[in-house]
Amino acid sequence: MAAGNLIDGRVIAEQIHAETAQRVWALKSRGIEPKQVFVRVGEDPASKVYVGMKEKTSARLGIASETRVLPETTTEADLLAIIGQLNADRSVHGILVQAPLPKHISESRVFAAVAPDKDVDGFHPINVGKLMLGDETGFRPCTPAGVHELLIRSNVKIAGAGVVVLGRGNIVGKPMAAILCQKSHHADATVTICHSRTGDVADHCRRADIVIAAMGVPEFVKADMVKPGAVVIDVGVNRIADSSAKNGSRLVGDVDFTRVQPIAGLITPNPGGVGPMTIAMLLANTTRAAELATR
């Protein structure tokens, strides 16, 4: 099938950015400047790239941003103290602690330390609980929220659809399932979560109207696992060896895109699918945090 079945995350992310920029302008017209602070511990190359992209897009939309770069040797207590200071700073509306953190720091304790009303990543237990309860006053995690927007804005029928989510992680898999199974508008799906202990994953996928791959396994979803006409969303980011590439490796998703695309009704490319949406939802969350803080 031709490129006509691609869900272009870059285009949809720009639609959301335009909406966010209007909201930022409305806040600034009232003398309020939305601001977020990124906290990065260590020099993980991918983290540096991700934070840089978020900073650049924030500036384009008029959202103030600041990055606190801490050494790899930073203690958990010191990091928690910095988060406490940011929680108390009324000029800061959003706090994002970039994962991964060094092994001696507990990600769960750090995420729980961020004030729920500044938790624009949606990882605080209160926001996780609100998501599970269908309480829309919380912040949703950015990647699954972005996938949801891709489906909505691509006019994918979610209500009554059979959805397979590949992966049960706390960042994508579990919240993705929670979003889609809610009794609410643009939800009401029947969701199956498949993981490393699931028997015959391929059989589950073949029955699905929507497949969302977030396992972290390169090109796991093959053509014979997809029902003709199904919607396929690839969340995976994996680096594999490639002697023909300049640096000896290349990035691929969790879907064997070349072979699955001709079968799928709609499919996200990788890159250019889910990735841009994650940043779009983060900045929308930060803007919402600023709106809520000034009510």
pLDDT, tens digit, for every residue of 21-66?
A: 999 999 999 999 999 999 999 998 889 999 999 999 999 999 999 9
pTM for this structure? 0.96
For the cut 60, the answer to whether the pLDDT of residue 1 exceeds it is no
Q: β-strands 238-241, 249-252: how paired?
A: antiparallel
What's the rounded mean pLDDT across residues 255-260?
Answer: 97
What's the rounded mean pLDDT across residues 9-13?
Answer: 98
For the cut 90, the answer to whether the pLDDT of residue 184 exceeds it is yes
pLDDT one-digit tens code per residue, 115-165: 999 999 999 999 999 999 999 999 999 999 999 999 999 999 999 999 999
Known active-site residue 89 = no
Contact between residue 276 and residue 60 where contact means Cβ atoms under 8 Å apart: no
| Residue 154 DSSP code | T
- State how far the alpha carbon of 17 is from the alpha carbons of 92, 104, 171, 179, 287, in Å: 20, 36, 22, 22, 11
Fold of 142-275: Rossmann fold (3.40.50)
Q: Given this chain, do its domains 31-117 and 142-275 carry the same CATH topology?
A: yes
Average pLDDT for the chain: 96
Q: What CATH class has 31-117?
A: alpha beta
Q: Contacts from 73-78 at CB under 8 Å and sequence distance 24+?
A: 74/41, 74/102, 74/105, 75/104, 75/105, 76/104, 76/105, 76/106, 76/109, 76/110
Known active-site residue 35 = no
Going from N- to C-terminal start, the domains of the chain cover 31-117, 142-275
Q: How many residues does the chain have?
A: 295
Known active-site residue 56 = no
What's the rounded mean pLDDT across residues 222-227?
Answer: 98
When pLDDT is cut at 50, 70 and 90, the band that residue 3 belongs to is: low
Contacts for 161 with CB less than 8 Å, ≥ 6 apart: 189, 190, 209, 210
Catalytic residue among 54, 118, 130, 227: 54
Catalytic residue among 119, 121, 209, 254: 121
